[in-house]
Each structure stands twice: as C-alpha cells, then as structure tokens.
Structure 1
Amino acid sequence: MNSALFPKLLVSDADAAIDFYTEALGADVALRVAGDDGMVHHAELTVGGATLALAQSVEEWGWHDPVSLGGSPVLLTLDAADPDAAARRMVDLGAELVIPVENRPYGKRQGRVKDPFGHLWVVSGALR
C-alpha cells in the first residue's frame, strides 16, 4: 500500500500561522485553499521532506485549535541541524520557550517550544 501521513494543525489565524511557519521553520507553501470569505480551509507547507497541513479553526465544524481547548495533547518533533538556533528563531518570532534546549541523557539535544497558536514542538538535534 502506498500511503502518506501528515498532521493538519488547526489554528486561530491560518494566515498568521503560514507566515510564522515559513519564517520560523523555513517552510514553503505548496498549497493554500481559501473560501470566498478568505478563510483558509486547507494549506500545505513543506519542511524538508515533510508535509505540514493547517487550517483555520471553525467551531461550527468541530475544528478546535489548542488555545480554544486550553492546550494541545500532541507534541510535534522538529529534527533540526541546530536545535538551539531553531528554537531561538521560533521564540524570536513569537513562540514561548517551555523547556530549554539542552543535552539530554537519552542522547539528543532537545527542548520544547509552544508556538503562537498553542501547538507544542520538541526541537531536537544531535548532542553538542
């Protein structure tokens, strides 16, 4: 079976999220689909070889973003060549540092960041 799996993040402001992820992660916009009202119902961004989709949260459709739910039950992992720089760039663009990037006893250099839309990211890389 030939399949692909990628997350679709629901956010409170899809256009702001597209801007954040393109600047913070170096993502490229592969697809942006908006309704007549301009609301983004589906966008696909590529980060390295991965696809990350996102859409505007719409309460009537049951599409809730982490802020509206009081937090996110999901951790996204970003494997970066320089996790310190990646986390710093995210924070500089409006994310919150939750756990500092440090060498961990399990052989990774990792930290955690909450992006401006409530999604939690483990920023990971090789030990220094």
Structure 2
Amino acid sequence: MLTNRSAPHALVVPVLTVADVRAAVAWYADVFGFVEHVRIGEGHRAQLGLPSGAELIVAEVRPGRRVPSDGRSHQILLKVEDAAATVARAVAKGALVIDELHDWEYGERQAAIDDVFNHQWVLTQTLVDTAPEQWGGKTVTRRRA
C-alpha cells in the first residue's frame, strides 16, 4: 500500500466535525498531545497525530456534517499514560466528566469525558496485562504482536 505525505498513514482515522477547527487543533494538542501534521485551509480541516501513530482529523461544519448533539453515535477510546492527569487537563480546559475514573477487572483504568466540541472520549490507562478469560471475556482471534 502506498503512503502519501498529504494523507494520514493510519488505516482507520476518526474524522471529528467541529465548529472551530483551529480551536480544536489547539485543544487536542494541549489536552492529549496531538501534533498538527497537515493544515488544509485555516478553518477547513486539519490532520493530527500522536507519537504512537494514532491519527485524527478535525473538519469544519458544512452541509451534511454537523457537531454531535443529544445522544452518541460514537466514542473515541484513547490510550494514555496517566488517565487521572489527562482527565484533569481536559477538565481544566472545559471538558465535562461523564464517567468518573474506574479501575476495571480487565486491567484498565478508564474515564469518559465530553470535550468542548461535544465529542465523547474514553481515556484508558493500562494497569496490567490481563487475558480476556481471566475476567469472563473470550479470545476469538489473537492480535498480532
């Protein structure tokens, strides 16, 4: 598969519609550490990335594309080093905590927030490597290492 310097390299990239692309770029950089890779116009669209290789696009509102309203059609799960610190940064920048931090039997510490653009994020910190069978899950197909 060819790569293109003008397009994201990840195979799956969420595109989040926001009312203010430049504000979203700044917020996602300040709170989550995203870096802007490609800017398409001042307010049209931006491609962001993390050192881990995760990528995200923020895009302007336009016909057929709007910011989320009541209810959720999606959440974005983001792996972080320190969930408590990330939640604190997000709240300091105006995010709303939807689900408080909780340590789960499957080895993750998680919280859910609504960012200031009304997108919901699940922030997850791995505490321990746990086989799905240890907490009632089932391994169907093993992931590649």
1:72 and 1:43 map into 2 onto residues whose CA distance is: 23
Structure 1 stretches of at least 4 aligned residues deviating more than 3 Å after TM superposition: none
1:31 and 1:71 map into 2 onto residues whose CA distance is: 31
Please give the residue correspondences for 1:1-128 in structure 2 after superposition, counting only pairs within 5 Å: 4-34=11-41, 38=42, 40-48=43-51, 49-58=53-62, 61-66=63-68, 69-127=69-127
Structure of larger gyration radius: 2
Q: 1:55-99: CA deviations, max 9, x gaps?
A: 1111xx211111xx3343111011011111111111111111111
2:111 and 2:12 map into 1 onto residues whose CA distance is: 25
In the alignment, structure 1 segments of 5+ residues that lack a partner are none
1:54 and 1:91 map into 2 onto residues whose CA distance is: 20
Structure number having the greater strand percentage? 1
Higher relative contact order (CA 8 A, sep 6+): 1
Q: CA RMSD in A?
A: 1.7
1:71 and 1:20 map into 2 onto residues whose CA distance is: 22
Q: TM-score, normalised by structure 2?
A: 0.76
Structure number having the greater helix percentage? 1
Residue 28 (structure 1) shift? 0.6
Identity %: 31
Residue 105 (structure 1) shift? 2.3
In the alignment, structure 2 segments of 5+ residues that lack a partner are 3-9, 129-145
